[in-house]
Amino acid sequence: MYTSETRLRVRYAETDQMGVVYYANYFVWMEVARVEYCRSIGFSYQQMEVEDGVLLAVVDARCRYAHPARYDQEVIVATTVPDVHPRMIHFAYHMRSAADGRALASGETRHVFCGRDLKPSRLPAKYRRLFGLC
């Protein structure tokens, strides 16, 4: 299974009063990593939306926290696609410290492919090959 790795550095604005990354920011990191995953396999989100009218609507998002990330820490987000169908895709994310490999969090998002009208649609053939669907 292909894995894309995205490196991020924790910004001060992402931390809470306790000095750790605010929980919702992990979902932002997942989005950044998802966009980079698509770029790494040969297309951009923007291309898919503008040229083909295909949008990815989130229908489920989860995150499990293992260890707090802190300001200025470098984080690696490893992204995979464990499951994809012509109408839905599942991304999995594993976030770890770049310094020592310590697990920080893991998460997943599931998306339905939609048209500009936000009605479910099928993934165009040119993207199916990139995601491993034939």
For the annotated catalytic residues, the residue numbers are: 16
Residue 23: which of 71, 79, 63 has the closest Cα? 63
Rounded CA separation 126/58 (Å): 21
Residue 112: which of 83, 79, 78, 89 has the closest Cα? 89
- For CA atoms 32, 84, 120, 108, the dihedral sign is negative
Question: Within the chain, where are the H helices?
Answer: 25-41, 45-52, 125-130
Rounded CA separation 77/123 (Å): 25
